[in-house]
């Protein structure tokens, strides 16, 4: 709803493709991640979305769960202790046969939300590496329902990652079957490339028109599209994700020195449009989370 306060999610760290080789400002160590959480909280973010990072390189952690567990503990001990914490179910180079075991543990860290990918897809983008054209990012329906069950058993709400429009139908079907519980929270991942839906306003309007009115939704988009789609989401009554997971630039050719700079930019846009910013407690109420 257009009058609802705006939830800003800061996606601080990113997965496989963001590291200190792309930008020296991406947080790597636990201390750096917590410092970024506090900065983003002060800037206006009510949610942080986290992938596990290697301390020195800022690349994806080889063993994500201990790192993610530490993030949650340290955030709850920080001055930004009321942040809504969203932990990824992706990232890390782990044995695929152990993923169920890993996720069953990961949803016990006392986070509020965890991402839940709503379908399989091909490449996010064509990186010029022919070997990647043989890769599928697999999220079969049985895995989706199993991991959703792990989350509900631990009072963690799934954030459904919708990469393409047909995945909206998957979400509706799983609600009808009882595997997903309304009201849902959707994230439209508008990354374009070779498999994701394009970051344009017509596509976003189509997506919003095809979900029930009691579902909340947010949008994330890459690079220069981040603020364009954020503005569209603000106008349409949705919520916004920004951060170095999606975009490392504050403006063309200028690296963001902190995720908080990207949060502050969204806050300025929202204020110009007269859309108030949600606090973490207000975000919990909007998202139907426990305080």
pLDDT tens digits for 73-106? 999 999 999 999 999 997 555 566 789 999 999 9
The pTM assigned to this predicted structure is 0.95
C-alpha span between 140 and 5 (Å, rounded)? 34
8-state DSSP, 212: -
Pairing type for strands 216-220 and 249-251 reads: unpaired
- CATH among 3.90.76.10, 3.20.20.70, 3.40.50.300, 3.40.640.10 for 8-286: 3.20.20.70
What SS3 string covers 151-166? HHHCCCEEEEEECCCH
Q: Are 275 and 252 a contacting pair, CB within 8 Å?
A: no
What local confidence, expressed as pLDDT, does residue 124 receive?
A: 64
Q: What pLDDT score does 37 carry? A: 98
| C-beta of residue 233 within 8 angstroms of C-beta of residue 218 | yes
The rounded distance, in Å, linking the Cα atoms of 173 and 168 is 9
So what's the pLDDT on residue 38? 98
Identify the segments of the chain with pLDDT beneath 50: 1
Task: Tell me, rounded to whole angstroms, the distance of Cα 150 from its chain centroid.
Answer: 19
Domain boundaries, given as residue ranges, for the chain: 8-286
Q: What pLDDT, on a 0 to 100 scale, did the predictor assign at position 1? A: 47
């Amino acid at each position: 709803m257009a009058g609802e306060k705006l939830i800003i999610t800061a996606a601080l760290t990113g997965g496989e493709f963001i590291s200190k080789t792309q930008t020296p400002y991406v947080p790597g160590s636990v201390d750096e991640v917590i410092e970024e959480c506090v900065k983003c909280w002060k800037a206006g973010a009510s949610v942080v979305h986290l992938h596990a990072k290697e301390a020195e390189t800022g690349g994806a952690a080889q063993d994500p769960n201990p790192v993610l567990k530490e993030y949650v503990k340290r955030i709850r001990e920080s001055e930004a202790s009321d942040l809504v914490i969203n932990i990824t179910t992706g990232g890390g180079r782990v044995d695929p046969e152990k993923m169920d075991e890993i996720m069953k543990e990961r949803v016990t860290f006392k986070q509020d939300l965890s991402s839940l990918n709503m379908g399989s897809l091909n490449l996010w983008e064509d990186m010029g590496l022919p070997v990647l054209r043989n890769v599928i990012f697999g999220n079969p329906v049985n895995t989706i329902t199993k991991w959703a069950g792990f989350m509900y058993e631990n009072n963690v709400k799934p954030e459904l990652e919708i990469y393409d429009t047909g995945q909206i139908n998957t979400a509706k079907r799983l609600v009808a079957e009882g595997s997903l519980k309304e009201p849902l929270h959707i994230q439209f991942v508008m990354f374009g490339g070779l498999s994701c839906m394009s970051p344009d306003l017509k596509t976003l309007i189509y997506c919003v028109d095809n979900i029930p009115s009691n579902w909340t939704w947010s949008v994330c988009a890459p690079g220069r599209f981040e603020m364009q789609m954020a503005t569209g989401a603000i106008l349409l009554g949705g919520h916004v994700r920004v951060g170095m997971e999606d975009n490392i630039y504050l403006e063309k050719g200028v690296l963001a020195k902190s995720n908080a700079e990207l949060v502050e930019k969204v806050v300025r846009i929202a204020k110009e449009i007269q859309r108030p910013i949600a606090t973490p407690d207000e975000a919990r109420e909007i998202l139907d989370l426990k305080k």
